[in-house]
């Protein structure tokens, strides 16, 4: 299963606020003369992609907020709250004994991967019996176009039609990340860390060298970490941009917002200290401990706030109207 990655300190990132042209190209992978058709994602699509990169444990839909939570005995559950007029209420347990990740909604069902078992499961959005869909271990679940895309136990990319309970193989794999995009599939090889795009005809285009971090697409650029840098490669033929990163041991958290791309990171040289900022800063000290974004979209932002030792402190919810509150286990502040 995919582990939840901690974002890293980006305090030294682009103090001058400018990128530099890539020294060389890592393109290729397709027959000579064939070019990758231009691709561009909307902000909403990029935010959905960012949620999957963080194995989202929160899902908001039509006034209901679903999330990994705890019951009164502090046992893990899938819970639902009601969000209305800037207020959260109505805590209800939908499924007990599970740690839901990659939460998504399809035809009245909440689908997710149970981190404790790696199995793909579903439960009615109104609550009810939990149903096993695939034993797994599975990862990287997302709902697109009425299908559930995921990586199976062998790392193969599958597209599940729930109505027919039928899987269609879309990638031989093994892959550690996949995202349906345009008329093809963007994916990251599990062993090499290379990022590729396979178009509708089966042609593959190499978008990164080996060892790249899982990618985020924003507008017409694909962003990924590589060799101490953050790379932005254009799908439309523009120049690559390379931004220097400090030495780190994990992947940066990239969050698409109205203003562009927000970066977050962690420094653990003096306890656990988190920072955030854009390419030009300023970088703000958030708090001791750290946060991971579990929902970003439809006017809501929900962070999971962790203690330095990794225990969940609370969820922090903010909306476009400026409302802010914290909640956990049915307690709302």
Helices (H) and strands (E) in the chain — how many of each? Answer: 1, 30
Under the banding of pLDDT at 50, 70 and 90, the label for residue 65 is very high
The values of phi and psi at residue 321, to 5°, are -85, -5
Scan for tokens 């970490």, then name that residue.
225
Q: Decide if domain 42-228+293-332 falls under CATH 2.40.10.
A: no
pLDDT, one tens digit per residue, over 213-252 is 899 999 999 999 887 778 899 887 778 888 776 554 457 7
pLDDT, one tens digit per residue, over 254-307 is 899 987 888 776 665 555 556 666 655 555 556 567 889 999 999 999 999 998
Q: Compute CA distances 256 → 72, 97, 204, 322, whole Å.
A: 35, 33, 26, 19
Res 225: pLDDT? 84
Scan for tokens 């096993």, then name that residue.
132
Query: Is residue 123 within 8 Å of residue 114, measured between CB atoms?
Result: no
Scan for tokens 């690559």, then name that residue.
240
Res 307: pLDDT? 87
What pTM was estimated for this model as a whole? 0.86
Query: Is residue 86 within 8 Å of residue 102, measured between CB atoms?
Result: no
Lowest-pLDDT range, 119-123, 132-136, 140-144, 266-270? Answer: 266-270
Q: How far apart (Å, rounded) are the C-alpha atoms in residues 113 and 158?
A: 14
Under the banding of pLDDT at 50, 70 and 90, the label for residue 325 is very high
**Which H helix or E strand runs over 49?**
helix 43-53
Res 246: pLDDT? 53
pLDDT, one tens digit per residue, over 78-129 is 999 999 999 999 999 999 999 999 999 999 999 999 999 999 999 999 988 8
């Amino acid at each position: 299963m995919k582990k939840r990655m901690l974002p890293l300190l980006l305090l030294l990132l682009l103090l001058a606020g400018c990128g530099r042209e890539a020294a060389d190209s890592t393109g290729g992978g397709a027959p000579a003369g064939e070019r990758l058709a231009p691709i561009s994602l909307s902000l909403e699509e990029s935010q959905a992609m960012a949620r999957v990169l963080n194995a989202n444990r929160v899902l908001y839909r039509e006034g209901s907020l679903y999330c990994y939570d705890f019951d009164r005995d502090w046992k893990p559950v899938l819970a639902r709250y009601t969000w209305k007029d800037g207020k959260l209420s109505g805590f209800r347990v939908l499924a007990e004994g599970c740690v839901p990740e990659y939460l998504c909604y399809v035809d009245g069902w909440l689908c997710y991967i149970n981190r404790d078992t790696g199995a793909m499961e579903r439960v009615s959005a109104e609550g009810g019996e939990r149903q096993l869909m695939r034993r797994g271990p599975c990862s990287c679940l997302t709902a697109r176009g009425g299908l559930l895309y995921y990586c199976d136990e062998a790392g193969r990319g599958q597209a599940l039609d729930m109505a027919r309970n039928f899987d269609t193989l879309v990638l031989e794999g093994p892959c550690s990340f996949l995202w349906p995009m345009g008329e093809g599939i963007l994916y990251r090889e599990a062993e090499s860390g290379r990022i590729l795009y396979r178009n509708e005809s089966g042609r593959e285009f190499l978008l990164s060298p080996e060892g790249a971090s899982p990618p985020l697409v924003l507008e017409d650029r694909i962003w990924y970490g590589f060799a101490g840098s953050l790379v932005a490669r254009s799908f439309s033929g523009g120049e690559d941009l390379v931004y220097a990163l400090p030495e780190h041991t994990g992947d940066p958290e990239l969050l698409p917002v109205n203003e562009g791309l927000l970066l977050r990171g962690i420094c653990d040289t003096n306890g656990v200290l988190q920072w955030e900022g854009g390419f030009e800063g300023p970088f703000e000290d958030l708090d001791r401990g750290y946060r991971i974004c579990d929902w970003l979209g439809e006017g809501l932002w929900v962070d999971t706030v962790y203690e330095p030792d990794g225990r969940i402190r609370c969820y922090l919810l903010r909306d476009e109207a400026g409302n802010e509150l914290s909640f956990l286990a049915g307690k709302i502040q």
